[in-house]
Structure 1
Amino acid sequence: MRTPTRFKAGAVILSAVALTVTACGTGGGDTSGGATADAGSGTGEIKVWGHQGEEGEVAALQAAVAGFNSSQKGVKATLQLIPSADYTKTVSATSPDQLPDVLEYDGPLMASFAYDKKLAPVEGLVSAQTIGNQTDSVKTQNTYQLDKKLYGVSMYDSGLGVYGNKALLDAAGVTYPKGLGDAWTADQFQTALEKLAAKDPDQKVLDVKENYGGEWPTYGFLPIVNSAGALAIKDNKAEGNLNSAPVVKAVQQFAGWRKFVDPNSDDKAFTDGRVALSWVGHWQYNPYNKALGQKLVVLPLPDFGAGTKSGQGSWAWGIGGSSKNGKAAGLFLDYLLNDSNVTAMTTANAAPPGTKTVIATDPLYKPGGPLQLFADGLSKTCGANPPTTACVATPRPVTPAYPVFSQQFSQAFLNIYKGGDAQAELDKAAKAIDQDFTDNNNYTS
C-alpha cells in the first residue's frame, strides 16, 4: 500500500459526500430488509459493476468474466469497471432500478445498500454450495442483522495486526508474542515501546499509518473498542457502549503512545528500519517481507482487556435489488467464487481468501504459513455478539447507520489521538450516532 487509496480492507475512501448519500439514501427500507430480485430466465445478458483496484486485481476479475462467458452460452456478463475513488459514490447516487444485475460493494456498507433496496438477498440465487464454502467471517459481514439474510459473497477478507522487525526487537531486549494466545496486554505493549525507544535516536519506534486516510481510523482502531469488551453499537445505541469507561480508558491509552509514533509521511518507516513495529493489515505483508525477509514477524494487536482483536471484512459481491435476471446473476457469482478465481484474486492482492477451500491451502494463510495468525483470528469471529476473550475478528457494525458511525468514530478517534478529551469526544460521537438512529426510526421503516 503506497497511498491511502490502496487500503484493501473495505478499500473505498469514504468522503463526507459518499457517507451522507449512503446513510440518507432513498430510504424505503423496512424490517424485511432489502429488495427481492426477480429470478428471470437464467439466460441472456447481465451487467456487472466492479471497482477498479490494483492492476493484478483488475486482471484477475477480467479473466474471471471472460472465463465465465466462454464456459457456457446461456449468459453473457458485461463488466464495467469504475475507479475506486468514485465507486461507492456512484452506487450511492444511482437509483436501485438503474443498478446492474451484479455489483461489488464495500463490505461494511452492505446494510446501508440493503436498506436502500440496492441489494437483494443472494440465497436461492447463488448456490448452496457457494454459500456453504464462505468462511464464517465473511458471512458475518454480509449478513443483514434486521432480517438475518445474506446479501453478498466475498472472494476475500482482511486481517489486521502488528508487524515487527525481529532484529530491532531483539536488540532492545523485547520479548514478543508467538501467536494469539500470548498477545501483549496494552501495558506490555507500552513497555515494549519504551524499551524500543530507549534504543532509538528519535524514540519514534511505532508506525500506525498516520499517512492513511478515509476508512483507516475505523478499520484500524475500532478493534481497540472491541478489545475493551464493548460493541460500538448495541441494540441501535452507541451511548453506553462506544463511550463506556473501558473504551475511554483504552482509547486514551492508545493516544498516549503518539509520542512513539513516526508520522511516516513517506510510507517507508518500517521498510527503511526507522521503526520496529507497524500496526497495519495483510496488504503490507508482501512489501514488508521483501524488505525484511527473515527479520519480519507477524504479531497480534495488544489486548485491552477482553482479548486481542482484529479487523475483518472487505469488498464483496451482491445482486442488484432491481435485477430482472437474478438466476443468471447467481450463476455468474457461483463461477466467480470458484477456487480458481478466488486463488487468482488473492494471489494478486495477498488478502485472506473468503472461501474455506482456498484459505485452507493458501501458501500465506494455511497452517504454518507466514500469515496463519490472520487466518486463525478470522476463524474466531465475534460475529454480532459482544466481544470476549473467546473471539478475535470483529466486524464493523452491520447496520445502515454504518456510514454515519464511521464518520463520527473516525473524527472522535483522531481528535483524541491529537490530544482531545477521550470522554468528551466519544460522548459527542455516541450522541450523533444515536441521533441518526432516531432520525431514521432505527432503520426499521
Structure 2
Amino acid sequence: MRHRLFSLIALMLIASVLLAACGGAAEPTAAPAAVEPTAAPEAVAEPTAAPAPAASGSMTKLGLWTHSAGNEGEMEVITKMADDFNASQDQFEVVIEAFPQASYNDSVAAASVAGSLPCIIDLDQPTVPNFAWSGYVQELPVPADMLAGINTGGVGLYNDKVYSMGQFDVALLNYARKSVLEKYDIRIPTLDEPWTLDEFNTILKTLKDSGEFDYAMDVNAEWTGEWWPYAYSPMLQSFGGDLIDRATFTTAEGVLNGPEAQAWGEWFQGLFADGYVNPAPADDQCFLQGHCALWYTGSWSANDVVAALGDDALFLPAVDFGNGPKIGGGSWQWGIST
C-alpha cells in the first residue's frame, strides 16, 4: 500500500509537468495498425495535423496511450492516476487507451508519421533518445527543484534535455534458489564479489551436468523487440565491447566488432549451442516451475519469485565478465508528443 501511494503521488507530480506541455494534444484516436518491426512506417506526403484537444462541456480531453493492456497491476495504477487527477480539477480529462506491448512502439511510430498521436504517451526509457531524435516527443519543462528529487532511472534524457519522466525504475538480475546453490556447492555472489566469467561457466556446466534441470538458465530468449539490446548488451559491455563508440556516438567500429565483442558473441552463442539455455522457450515459467536453475530477468518478476520460493529465493547481481558487472535499468515513462 505504501509503495502504491508513493507511486500515485509521484504520478500526480509528473502529471503537472506533462499537462503543462500538452497544449496542442489530440483527442485519443484509435491506434493505426502496427507496421512490421523490420520496416519503417510508410511516409505520407503531408502528415495530417493532430486536431486540437476536444472539449467536453468545460473539460478538455487529453488522450493517453499506454502499452499496458493485459497487465492488471499496471493498468490499476495508471487508471487510479488518471481518475485521481480528473477528480482533482475541472479543466482537463485524461482518457486512457491501452494497447499490447508487442506492437506498441510500431503503432507510436506510425501514428507520429500520420500526425495522430495523443498528447501523452508512455515509452520505455531506453527508447527515449530515439523517440526524441525522431521527433515523436518534445522536451519537458521540468522545474530544477523537481528534477533534483528524481533519480536517474526516472528521467529520460536526450542531449542533456528531459524528454520523459517516470514513477519507478527496474533493474536486471539473476534469480536462484538458495537450496540449489548449496546443494551443488556454488558460491552465493555479492555486489562486492559477483561471479566471474570462469566461475559462471563452471556453474552453468555443473548445473547442466547435474541432470536435475532441463536448462541451467533461462534468459527470456523468446522475448523480442528492445529486450535483446536491453538485456544482453550489458553482457557485451561487461566483456569490454559496446553497441557504439561512446566517445563520439557516431560509429560502432572497433567496439561492436572488436575482439572483446567477438568474444562475447562466441560465448553467448555457446549458451545455446552447449545446451545451457533454451533458444526458444514457450514462456517465462521455466525457473518458477523448477525446470531451470537460474533466471536472468528483471526486478518486475520479484513478487512472483518470492511468492513461489519464499525464503529459498535469491536475488543475485550480474556476472562480472571482465570489465565490471553491467545491468539494464530504466523503465516505462511518460512523454508528450510533438
- TM-score range, shorter-chain basis? 0.7 to 0.9
Contact 2:177 2:309 in 1 (8 A): yes
Question: 124, 131, 152: which one pairs with 1:136?
Answer: 152
Q: Letter of the aligned partner of 2:39 in structure 1?
A: T
Among 168, 171, 182, which residue is 1:170 paired with?
182
Structure 1 contact 121–150 (Cα < 8 Å) conserved: yes
- Structure 2 CA distance, aligned partners of 1:167 and 1:298? 13
Q: Residue 90 of structure 1 corresponds to which residue in structure 2?
A: 107
From 158, 161, 166, the counterpart of 1:154: 166
Superimposed CA distance per residue, residues 188-231 of structure 1 (whole angstroms, 9 cap, x where no aligned partner): 11111223234335673222223333333222211111112333
- Does the alignment pair 1:106 with 2:113? no
Coordinate RMSD, CA, aligned = 2.7
Alignment TM-score, normalising by the size of structure 1: 0.59
1:225 and 1:247 in contact (8 A); partners too: yes
**TM-score normalized by structure 2?**
0.76
Q: Which has the higher helix share?
A: 1
- Indicate which of 258, 264, 267 corresponds to 1:250: 264
**Structure 1 residues not aligned, in runs of 5+:** 1-14, 27-37, 322-445
Q: Bigger radius of gyration, 1 or 2? A: 2
* Distance change in 2, residues 1:109/1:262 (3 Å): closer
CA contact (8 A) 1:196 1:203 kept: no
Q: Distance in 2 between matches of 1:82 and 1:198?
A: 43
Partner of 2:68: 52
Whether the aligned pair in 2 keeps the contact of 1:131 and 1:153 (CA below 8 Å) is no
Find out whether 1:228 has 2:239 as its counterpart. yes
Matched residues in 1 for 2:204 and 2:166: separation?
Answer: 37
Quick one: structure 1 residues 291 and 285, their matched pair in 2 at CA, closer, same or farther if it must change by over 3 Å?
A: same
Matched AA of 1:166: K
Moved more, 291-300 or 205-214: 205-214
**3-state SS, counterpart of residue 206 of structure 1:** strand
Asked if the contact 1:48–1:80 (Cα under 8 Å) also holds between the matched residues in 2, the reply is yes
Provide, for residues 127-165 of structure 1, a one-character-per-residue CA deviation record: whole Å limited to 9, x for no partner: 4444333211343xx1113xx211111122221111111
Cα distance, 1:46 vs. partner? 2.5
Report deviation, 1:262: 4.7
Q: Confirm or deny: 8 A CA contact 2:153 2:330 kept in the other structure.
A: yes
Aligned residue number for residue 62 of structure 1 = 79
**Over residues 235-273 of structure 1, what are the superposed CA-to-partner deviations in whole Å (9 max), with x where a residue is unaligned?**
211121111111211231233233242524353321222
Q: Which has the higher contact order (CA 8 A, sep 6+)?
A: 1
Deviation by residue 1:17-37 (Cα, 9 ceiling, x = unmatched): 245326x978xxxxxxxxxxx
* Residues 213 and 311 (structure 1), Cα distance of their counterparts in 2 relative to 1, 3 Å cut: same
Judged with a 3 Å threshold, the aligned counterparts in structure 2 of structure 1 residues 201 and 319 are, in CA distance, closer, same or farther, namely: closer
Q: Which runs of 5+ in 2 are unaligned?
A: 1-33, 45-51, 53-58
> Cα distance, 1:63 vs. partner?
1.2
SS at match of 2:292: coil
Q: Using the alignment, how far apart are the partners of 2:334 and 2:157 within structure 1?
A: 12
Please tell me whether the aligned partners of residues 114 and 151 of structure 1 are also in contact (alpha carbons under 8 angstroms).
Answer: yes
Aligned counterparts of 2:292 and 2:164: Cα–Cα separation in 1: 39
Matches within 5 A, 1:422-433: none
C-alpha distance in 1, partners of 2:43/2:193? 44
